[in-house]
Amino acid sequence: YEGRVQGVGFRFAVKQIARGYEVVGWVRNLIDGRVELQCGGDREEVDAFLAAIAESELKAHIKHVAAAPIDLPSGVKGFEIVA
């Protein structure tokens, strides 16, 4: 995520939104001012989770979203904020 996404509670809000979905993964700040989100789960749950972020109060801070499919490492459980 690009925009004014650091220093506005973005990661905390994303973690709260994740509670309503069957997703695993993490969200973290990057040194260049962007926020990285990696998540996995059932495709429909992931899509709904990402849509919920896009429609949340966070949308005012998001200027650009770049998405690419990834494979999460095995053993990832829950959804966390990481450093």
- At 42, phi and psi to the nearest 5? -60, 135
How far apart, in whole angstroms, are the C-alpha atoms of residue 54 and residue 3?
13
Catalytic residues: 11, 29
Helix or strand or coil: residue 32?
A: coil
Task: Tell me the angle at which helices 10-18 and 43-55 cross, rounded to the nearest 10 degrees.
Answer: 140
| The pair of three-digit structure tokens given for residue 3, joined into one six-digit string | 């925009």
